[in-house]
Structure 1
Amino acid sequence: MKKLVKWTLNHVPRPALQRIAGWAVPMAGLFYKGRGVECPVCGAKYRKFMPYGYVQSRSNALCPKCLSLERHRLLWLYLTRETNLLTEFPRTLHIAPEVCIMRHLKPHFNNHPGQYVTADLESPLADLHFDVHRIPLADNSVDVILCNHLLEHVADDRKVMRELYRILKPGGWGILLSPVELDYEKTYEDDSITDPDERTRIFGQYDHRRIYGADYADRLREAGFEAADIDYKSTFSEADRKLYALPADHIYMVYKI
């Protein structure tokens, strides 16, 4: 199963994956039924989650029912327990929307048209399609931004961060997650590396352009944000971390004063 998942991720175009994953993965999940883990996003229980990964396949990663990964489960727990997103209706822009999260947010905002908008460069699931280097929205126009695991892909992450800051209203907040290697003091990037195989070797994925280090929150602050680096997983017991298969990732909250 690990080899099949890895081959599919590396050879099937992303838009096609987004179309077929909704039925193909749940079918494969029939082989994982049990009670060893529980997905906090959809409530499904399995003996373990499915493997997932472009380069090194991670065991116990993908929920077969809602397609949540480790970071999505941590994000969902934070959104539901620590924010007002699911109790109020702030104008929300969800960029590169995670399907498992979007499936909850769309119904929540159903009677508040225009308050929840999804966006992506090419995803057929998104409401809007644009390049995040030039976001076609007015200054100070959204209350909440969700933009996760995108900044490591873009050509000029600092420009994108400034665009996100521009469209966020004063008093607004966002969650901007990226893969961060805290052992790296500084972010590593090299625009001369363009070969997909070499990017995979250096950055861990063929379409990544940088490895963020411990300075990630400082880069967000350079764009104008107030930024908080939150080790949210540490608030859970060891038993719950195992039950939900939570990652070591931190939550990066941003605010516009």
Structure 2
Amino acid sequence: MHQLFKYFLNLIPRTLLIRLSYLVRPVVAFFLRGNRYTDPIDGQSFRKFLPYGYEKVRDNVLAPGTLSLERHRLCWLYLKRETTFFSQPHKVLHFAPEQAFYKRFRKLKHLNYTTTDLNSPLADVKADICALPFDDESFDFIICNHVLEHIPNDTKAMQELYRVLTPGGMAILQVPYDAERKTTFEDNTITDPKERARIFGQYDHVRIYGMDYFEKLANAGFKVHAVDYTKTLSEEEIDTYRLAQGELLPVCKKLLVK
């Protein structure tokens, strides 16, 4: 079953998967309804979540209602409980907008909300993250999750994210990382999709980040907080929301100029 799931994910282009998921999602959510696990994003509960993964398929992680993964639910809880994202006006830049967030963020009238990506059908602005068409200090909130591992020149991308963030602003910049690896590994000679999936975890990734990821962000100018938000949650919440215990949330700030 897992091998079939991997084959399906790798066979269909991601943009088409996004469109197909809109049609399939309501049907799957109906058949999996229950009360064992809850998605905090929409509040719906299910008897189980779906599997997900390209190289290593994870059981019970993809919420049928919103199609959120562990990282989306962790980010949502942090935004909801620890920031003013849902309560105060913000100019928001959202890269590669996730379905789990897109419509919900768009409906928040207090947000000046802009989405961007090179390929996503949900993007307002088609743009290269390494050459953003925005003025300096344009946004006071940036969400850029699981994007940088796709970008060959991630240093330039980080610098661009820092450039367009306002002083005092916040950026949440999640990536897949290996907590057992001290330094990031990349090799631009690896171009075969199957080999990339084997080494980097997904066919379109160009590196596997180590724990130096947070230092890389700091080198771009950010004040970086590696937040283990699961430490603030109970074991029951972690299980019910299907979170990855110990996952570090990269919360990056641009300090105010004195």
TM-score range, shorter chain: over 0.9
Q: 2:155 aligned with 1:158, yes or no?
A: yes
Please give the per-residue CA displacement for 1:52-95, whole angstroms capped at 9, x wherever unaligned: 11122111111111111111011100010011110012100000
Q: Give the alignment of 1:97-112 within 5 angstroms.
A: 97-109=97-109
* Alignment partner, residue 28 of structure 1: 28
Q: 2:257 aligned with 1:255, yes or no?
A: no
* Alignment partner, residue 64 of structure 2: 64
Output the CA distance in 2 between the equivalents of 1:4 and 1:64: 19
Please give the per-residue CA displacement for 1:121-156, whole angstroms capped at 9, x wherever unaligned: 111111111111111101111111000000111011
Output the CA distance in 2 between the equivalents of 1:2 and 1:23: 22
Output the CA distance in 2 between the equivalents of 1:86 and 1:33: 27
* Counterpart amino acid of residue 253 in structure 2: Y
How far did residue 4 of structure 1 move? Answer: 4.3
Q: 2:49 aligned with 1:52, yes or no?
A: no
Report the TM-score, using the length of structure 2 for normalisation.
Answer: 0.95
What fraction of aligned residue pairs are identical, expressed as a percent?
45
How far did residue 102 of structure 1 move? Answer: 1.6
Secondary structure of 1:94's counterpart equals strand
* Alignment partner, residue 200 of structure 1: 197
* Alignment partner, residue 86 of structure 1: 86
Q: Give the alignment of 1:106-185 within 5 angstroms.
A: 106-109=106-109, 115-185=112-182
How far did residue 35 of structure 1 move? Answer: 1.0
Output the CA distance in 1 between the equivalents of 2:28 and 2:92: 33
Output the CA distance in 2 between the equivalents of 1:67 and 1:149: 15
1:186 to 183, 186, 193: 183
Output the CA distance in 2 between the equivalents of 1:166 and 1:246: 32
Secondary structure of 1:108's counterpart equals coil
Equivalent residues of 1:32, 1:50 under 8 A apart: no
How far did residue 3 of structure 1 move? Answer: 4.3
Output the CA distance in 1 between the equivalents of 2:83 and 2:37: 25
Gaps of 5+ in 1: none
Cα RMSD of the aligned pairs, angstroms, is: 1.3
Greater shift in the superposed pair: 228-237 or 19-28: 19-28
Output the CA distance in 1 between the equivalents of 2:157 and 2:6: 30
Please give the per-residue CA displacement for 1:1-36, whole angstroms capped at 9, x wherever unaligned: 544432221111111111110121331233322111
User: How many pairs align?
Assistant: 254
Equivalent residues of 1:181, 1:213 under 8 A apart: yes
Output the CA distance in 1 between the equivalents of 2:254 and 2:149: 22
Output the CA distance in 2 between the equivalents of 1:134 and 1:64: 35
Equivalent residues of 1:189, 1:209 under 8 A apart: yes
Please list every run of at least 4 consecutive aligned residues from structure 1 whose deviation after the TM superposition is greater than 4 angstroms. none
Label 1:6 to 1:27 Cα distance change in 2 as closer, same or farther (>3 A).
farther
Secondary structure of 1:152's counterpart equals helix
Secondary structure of 1:161's counterpart equals helix
Report the TM-score, using the length of structure 1 for normalisation.
Answer: 0.95
Gaps of 5+ in 2: none
* Alignment partner, residue 13 of structure 1: 13
Output the CA distance in 2 between the equivalents of 1:35 and 1:3: 28
* Counterpart amino acid of residue 169 in structure 1: T
Please give the per-residue CA displacement for 1:160-188, whole angstroms capped at 9, x wherever unaligned: 00000011111111100001111101111
